Chains A and B, each alone.
Chain A
Amino acid sequence: MNEYLLKGLLFIFIFYIPFIVLAKNNYRFIYLLSACYSGLGLLCSLSFLLSGQSSQSISFPLGLPTSGAHFKIDALSSFFLLIVNLGSFISSLYGIGYGSHASEQSRVLPFYIIFLGSMNMVLLAADAFSFLFFWELMSLSSWALVMSSHRNKETAEAGFIYILMASLGTFALLFALSLIAAPSKSYCFDQMGKVSMDGKLASLIFLLALLGAGSKAGLVPLHVWLPKAHPAAPSHVSALMSGVMTKVAVYGFIRIVFDLLPFQVKWWSILILIIAGISTVVGVLYALMQHDIKRLLAYHTIENIGIVFIGIGLSMAFKTYGMTAASALALTGALFHALNHSIFKNLLFLGSGAIQTATDQRDMEKLGGLILNMPHTALTFLIGSVAISALPPLNGFVSEWLLMQSILQSPQLPSWGMKFLVPSVGAFLTLSAALAASCFVKVYGITFLGRPRSMQSRAACETDRWSVLAMYSLAFLCIIFGIFPRIVIHLLGPVITAIAGTHYFPFSAKSFFMPLSLAVDQNAYNGFVLVLLLGIFFFFIMTSLKWLASNQFRRTSIWDCGYPEKSPDCQYTATSFAQPIRKVFGPFLFATKEKVICSEPWYPKAAKMIVKLRDQIWEYFYKPVAMAIDSISEKINFLQFLTVRRYLVLVFLTLVSLLGCLAFLL
């Protein structure tokens, strides 16, 4: 069964590209086709995860002449296939509706298909060559999607930075995979890394993998492209890039570090935990400073990828000290969060797309009051906001709870550094969750609630039926995975067993209602009972209020202390909402400068406030590098204007120096 599905996936990917040419602008057809393709992928991954088969592999006489192209489906890749295809299935549904009010479809459609297919192929690739080939195809097709609205000046800049960072990442991965392949003399994943290597080489490979996967996933300090590039694409593509493509990067990292490298060195996990902890807090603080919805969501991706990497780092730490159970728990949390993030981030991006379609606005400061005109978008966006803020009873809380629980296991770690580092990472995790909740109060409150701040916002209307369907199905998943987290735990079973060696939550078929309880200290969380109790309590209040309280109500104007605020501009805005947090965290993180220009009281004019934020990492890390490259290239520019004789001398000197190097090395 699975073999056929796998073959089907591969063949369809190769054969349905011609359809793009045939159905050039028939967006409905293309998106339906993509939805079917993703459905097939979903079927493939679910059947694999639930049947508990061993891995399947196929090889094709494509790719490198000596080895051919190998494809393999195993537990790890099938779980990520689930994430990818779930996201792309919903996005394709959304696309059917989106296409009806988008221009220049032909800039999006072909690349969209290649993007979907290449993400699937990265997960299935079982040799270094095809892995890198599809990885790069994924980068390039998403770059083309980012550039689809190329007339915008910001988009051009975003695209440039994106392609630079993506190339850098692929380059790093190329080196990493080559270094693993070199001793075993094979590019096939099955044979790679089965040879002994020394710790220094392994560490080098690990750093390169972190650079490659981290730049694609958006870990700080490699995140600079992400908030620029993700928002520039059409909304359902932004959803895919943020929710799904970053997970492919996580997959690449796990594949290399847990699967291909023969062992792990102790300090790796420390590095990951530090980087991930910083990423979560920095990502969410950046998000709080934004008032462009899509850019804000992109910054949240950095935060959530940080959370996933916290789980991965913890898992590595426990693994290196031989605590398999705790390692399995942390990995469960990380992968659960990866799935959750792909669900709610997709939902929120689709919601922001609906807002953009309805109002032609991405700036929150010009929105407000949308809850009245766009009830479905408002409801689903609310569910997504609660989920991403890690609040019970939805799914975001469950995965963060699992991570918290694995952090609580850290005192058993023998190393002192770990003992202190892990709790502080825990504090970072909670801080970021609390800040995320603030941030989404801001997003939701400013966008959907209050009074409309502009004409477009007042005249907004609900988006099309396909998009609403897509958003509702994601919101439904948020609720279901929150109430019955055991479903996901069950799906994760084979993956965790394959990577960490044991599965933390032994599974029996009847236990979907059972709490998630830890073997060690009996800590438990039971989403189902929680929701049940909430329902009972709520029912009790409703019924008792019926005979206890008065049921009269009337509409009045708001309380204004005798100074009626005529204009809706008097409401709080995103900038003013975040002011306290900006004041507390801003100075040392963003070097914020606020300037209020007030006129003299005897000559009233409009007052102005200027808020300046600096991305410190950009200023001190990227800018100097860019400037250095600029100045060096200017200095060696004279080489362009040499005579032929001098060029020949140059060639000769190069040859001599190369030969000298050879003589020195051999």
Chain B
Amino acid sequence: MIKNLVFQCFDAFFLLAVSPLVIGIIRKTKARFLLKKGPSLLQPYYDLMKLFRKEVTLPDSASWLFKATPYVVFTFSWLAASLVPTFSTNLLFSRTADLIAIIALLGTARFFLSLAALDTGTSFGGLGSSRESLIASLAEPAMIMIIFTIALVAKSTDLSAISTFMISGQAGLRVSLWLALASLVLVAIAENGRIPVDNPATHLELTMIHEAMILEYSGKYLALLEAASQLKIVLYLSLIAAVFFPFGMATMVGGISSFFIGLFTYIAKIGLGALMLGFFEILVAKMRLFKIPNFLGAAFMLALLATVLLFVSRSL
């Protein structure tokens, strides 16, 4: 109990500390592949510190909702991220929310962010939240099919239970899981607004989604929202790691050494994930907004195929 509580607290703050680094790695990777030097790995930290120190400018038309949203979005994203098992399969609060609830927590964060975007009374905000709502609506069914596939294999939607099951090797080598993984990668890219769905480095109204929503934010509010989106990326990377590559995670029986092994493998997994994400982003160009339904439709189809294959393989 005490050990799990310590793990849980450590987990929450560890994620908070490490999430800007992930963005740093992604940016650095992209820059190196483009034969540029790129900013330092720690640049996202400097950016956050700078934003915290700056004065906040509030638009005239903004209400209390605009001020409350950064806190809501950050709190919900942080909580969702801390509920995903990272270096250990037994976190104290994993029985609080299962995979469905974690995804729904992100949904609440998105809901408030979209509202805040409309609160500014600019057309930019509306544009961002309108597009975001389309992407979210299309990504959700694909996500539920992925959850369905995982739950069919692991007999649970509780992430700790899933990781424990996957570590035990009972799942074996299943084609369905690979399909689900591919689908989850597509969904994660769409949900986090990375290329090819959305470009986080742009401020052109033709291409903006997430950036358009937070356009009016500044100072500590912007810092909170940036941190929240970094946490979200880490959440999806941890989710992929915990479900599909759970090796090395500390389990119930392990002592202090297994804790360090778990931590080390987790950092390695996340770092590798960030590298791959950066590499993938330089290979593709941003796609048109109305191509996104096809992109997410492919994700849904993959997940559906995963479920169907499971049924078929079970009955044989």
**Which A residues are closer than 8 A to B by beta carbons?**
368-369, 371-372, 382, 386, 389-393, 397, 401, 404-405, 407-408, 411, 416, 419-420, 423, 426-431, 433-435, 437-438, 440-442, 444-446, 449-451, 515, 517, 520-526, 529-530, 533-534, 537-538, 541-542, 545, 548-550, 552-560, 565, 568, 570-572, 576-581, 583-584
Asked whether, in the complex, the Cβ of B130 is within 8 Å of the Cβ of A578, the reply is yes
Q: Quick one: which of A435, A449, A570 has the most chain B CB within 10 A? A: A449
Asked whether, in the complex, the Cβ of B98 is within 8 Å of the Cβ of A556, the reply is no
Asked whether, in the complex, the Cβ of B118 is within 8 Å of the Cβ of A449, the reply is yes
- Shortest distance from the beta carbon of A195 to any chain B beta carbon, whole Å: 40
Q: Which residues in chain B, 153-193, are within 8 Å of chain A measured between CB atoms?
A: 155-158, 161
Asked whether, in the complex, the Cβ of B115 is within 8 Å of the Cβ of A515, the reply is no
- Shortest distance from the beta carbon of A219 to any chain B beta carbon, whole Å: 21
**B41: Cβ under 8 A from any A Cβ:** no
Asked whether, in the complex, the Cβ of B141 is within 8 Å of the Cβ of A434, the reply is yes
Mask, B117-134, CB within 8 Å of A = 1, is 111111111110111011
Q: Quick one: which of A389, A423, A580 has the most chain B CB within 10 A? A: A580
Asked whether, in the complex, the Cβ of A560 is within 8 Å of the Cβ of B122, the reply is yes
Distance between Cα atoms of A498 and B110 in the complex (Å):
40
Distance between Cα atoms of A663 and B28 in the complex (Å):
93
- Shortest distance from the beta carbon of A315 to any chain B beta carbon, whole Å: 19
Known contacts A404-B100, A441-B115, A538-B71; is A571 also within 8 Å of B121 by CB? yes
Distance between Cα atoms of A628 and B64 in the complex (Å):
57
**B111: Cβ under 8 A from any A Cβ:** yes
Asked whether, in the complex, the Cβ of B53 is within 8 Å of the Cβ of A372, the reply is no
Which residues of A lie under 8 Å from residue B216 when comparing CB positions?
Answer: 558-559
- Shortest distance from the beta carbon of B32 to any chain A beta carbon, whole Å: 32
Contact segment of B72-80, B194-202, B259-267: B72-80
Which 3 pairs of residues, A with B, have the shortest CB-CB distance? A572-B126, A445-B118, A438-B133
Which residues of B lie under 8 Å from residue A538 when comparing CB positions?
Answer: 71, 75
- Shortest distance from the beta carbon of A356 to any chain B beta carbon, whole Å: 21
Mask, B136-164, CB within 8 Å of A = 1, is 11111101110010011001111001000
Distance between Cα atoms of A542 and B72 in the complex (Å):
11
Asked whether, in the complex, the Cβ of B71 is within 8 Å of the Cβ of A541, the reply is yes
- Shortest distance from the beta carbon of B209 to any chain A beta carbon, whole Å: 10
Contact segment of B101-109, B247-255, B273-281: B101-109
Distance between Cα atoms of A401 and B101 in the complex (Å):
8
Known contacts A450-B120, A557-B59; is A524 also within 8 Å of B130 by CB? no
Return 27 A-B CB contacts under 8 Å, by A number.
A407-B148, A419-B311, A430-B144, A431-B140, A437-B136, A446-B118, A450-B118, A450-B120, A515-B96, A523-B157, A526-B97, A534-B76, A534-B79, A537-B75, A541-B224, A549-B52, A550-B52, A553-B58, A553-B219, A554-B56, A558-B61, A572-B125, A576-B126, A576-B130, A580-B131, A581-B134, A584-B134
Asked whether, in the complex, the Cβ of B126 is within 8 Å of the Cβ of A389, the reply is no
Known contacts A430-B141, A431-B137; is A525 also within 8 Å of B101 by CB? yes
- Shortest distance from the beta carbon of B238 to any chain A beta carbon, whole Å: 17
Asked whether, in the complex, the Cβ of B58 is within 8 Å of the Cβ of A541, the reply is no
- Shortest distance from the beta carbon of B146 to any chain A beta carbon, whole Å: 11
Which residues of A lie under 8 Å from residue B60 when comparing CB positions?
Answer: 555-558
Q: Quick one: which of B57, B117, B130, B224 has the most chain A CB within 10 A? A: B130
Q: Which residues in chain B, 40-68, are within 8 Å of chain A measured between CB atoms?
A: 52-61, 63-65
Q: Closest B-chain residue to A526, C-beta based?
A: B96
Distance between Cα atoms of A427 and B141 in the complex (Å):
5
Which residues of A lie under 8 Å from residue B79 when comparing CB positions?
Answer: 530, 533-534, 537
**B293: Cβ under 8 A from any A Cβ:** yes
Asked whether, in the complex, the Cβ of A411 is within 8 Å of the Cβ of B311, the reply is yes
Asked whether, in the complex, the Cβ of A529 is within 8 Å of the Cβ of B155, the reply is no
Asked whether, in the complex, the Cβ of A522 is within 8 Å of the Cβ of B161, the reply is yes
**B114: Cβ under 8 A from any A Cβ:** yes
Which residues of A lie under 8 Å from residue B235 when comparing CB positions?
Answer: none
Distance between Cα atoms of A576 and B122 in the complex (Å):
13
Distance between Cα atoms of A477 and B216 in the complex (Å):
34
- Shortest distance from the beta carbon of A285 to any chain B beta carbon, whole Å: 10
Q: Which of B71, B105, B161 lies in contact with A542, CB distance below 8 A?
A: B71
- Shortest distance from the beta carbon of A532 to any chain B beta carbon, whole Å: 9
Q: Which of B54, B63, B93, B156 lies in contact with A529, CB distance below 8 A?
A: B93
Chain B residue total in the interface (Cβ 8 A):
83
Q: Which residues in chain B, 206-234, are within 8 Å of chain A measured between CB atoms?
A: 215-216, 219-220, 223-224
Known contacts A558-B216, A559-B122; is A584 also within 8 Å of B56 by CB? no
**B307: Cβ under 8 A from any A Cβ:** yes
Asked whether, in the complex, the Cβ of A554 is within 8 Å of the Cβ of B133, the reply is no
Which residues of B lie under 8 Å from residue A550 when comparing CB positions?
Answer: 52-56, 219-220
**B240: Cβ under 8 A from any A Cβ:** no
Q: Which of B61, B114, B223, B290 lies in contact with A451, CB distance below 8 A?
A: B61
Known contacts A397-B104, A401-B101, A580-B131; is A434 also within 8 Å of B136 by CB? yes
Distance between Cα atoms of A434 and B107 in the complex (Å):
8
Which residues of A lie under 8 Å from residue B118 when comparing CB positions?
Answer: 441, 444-446, 449-450, 572, 577
Q: Closest A-chain residue to B142, C-beta based?
A: A427
Distance between Cα atoms of A395 and B252 in the complex (Å):
33
Q: Closest B-chain residue to A560, C-beta based?
A: B122
Which residues of A lie under 8 Å from residue B134 when comparing CB positions?
Answer: 438, 580-581, 584
Distance between Cα atoms of A588 and B144 in the complex (Å):
24
Q: Closest A-chain residue to B223, C-beta based?
A: A549
Asked whether, in the complex, the Cβ of A558 is within 8 Å of the Cβ of B158, the reply is no
**B286: Cβ under 8 A from any A Cβ:** no
Asked whether, in the complex, the Cβ of B111 is within 8 Å of the Cβ of A386, the reply is yes
Q: Closest A-chain residue to B67, C-beta based?
A: A553
Distance between Cα atoms of A435 and B145 in the complex (Å):
17
Apart from the given pairs A522-B95, A522-B156, A525-B101, 8 other A-B contacts in the complex at a CB distance below 8 Å: A389-B111, A444-B115, A526-B97, A555-B58, A558-B122, A571-B126, A577-B133, A580-B133
Asked whether, in the complex, the Cβ of B129 is within 8 Å of the Cβ of A445, the reply is yes
**B308: Cβ under 8 A from any A Cβ:** yes
- Shortest distance from the beta carbon of B285 to any chain A beta carbon, whole Å: 20
Distance between Cα atoms of A384 and B137 in the complex (Å):
20
**B18: Cβ under 8 A from any A Cβ:** no
Q: Closest B-chain residue to A524, C-beta based?
A: B95
- Shortest distance from the beta carbon of B14 to any chain A beta carbon, whole Å: 15
Asked whether, in the complex, the Cβ of A537 is within 8 Å of the Cβ of B52, the reply is no
Distance between Cα atoms of A397 and B104 in the complex (Å):
8
Q: Which of B55, B95, B129 lies in contact with A577, CB distance below 8 A?
A: B129
Q: Quick one: which of A392, A416, A446 has the most chain B CB within 10 A? A: A392
- Shortest distance from the beta carbon of A92 to any chain B beta carbon, whole Å: 31
- Shortest distance from the beta carbon of B214 to any chain A beta carbon, whole Å: 12
- Shortest distance from the beta carbon of B295 to any chain A beta carbon, whole Å: 12
Distance between Cα atoms of A570 and B75 in the complex (Å):
32
Q: Closest A-chain residue to B133, C-beta based?
A: A438
Which residues of B lie under 8 Å from residue A445 when comparing CB positions?
Answer: 114-115, 117-119, 126, 129
Q: Closest B-chain residue to A435, C-beta based?
A: B137
Q: Which of A371, A404, A525, A570 lies in contact with B97, CB distance below 8 A?
A: A525
Asked whether, in the complex, the Cβ of B123 is within 8 Å of the Cβ of A570, the reply is yes
Asked whether, in the complex, the Cβ of B57 is within 8 Å of the Cβ of A434, the reply is no
Known contacts A441-B129, A558-B216; is A372 also within 8 Å of B63 by CB? yes
- Shortest distance from the beta carbon of A218 to any chain B beta carbon, whole Å: 22
**B31: Cβ under 8 A from any A Cβ:** no
Which residues of B lie under 8 Å from residue A405 when comparing CB positions?
Answer: 100, 157
- Shortest distance from the beta carbon of B111 to any chain A beta carbon, whole Å: 6
**B272: Cβ under 8 A from any A Cβ:** no
Distance between Cα atoms of A442 and B126 in the complex (Å):
9
**B305: Cβ under 8 A from any A Cβ:** no
Asked whether, in the complex, the Cβ of A515 is within 8 Å of the Cβ of B95, the reply is yes
Q: Which residues in chain B, 277-316, are within 8 Å of chain A measured between CB atoms?
A: 289-290, 293, 300, 304, 307-308, 311, 314
Asked whether, in the complex, the Cβ of B55 is within 8 Å of the Cβ of A524, the reply is no
Which residues of B lie under 8 Å from residue A368 when comparing CB positions?
Answer: 121
Q: Which of A525, A560, A581 lies in contact with B96, CB distance below 8 A?
A: A525
Q: Closest B-chain residue to A447, C-beta based?
A: B118
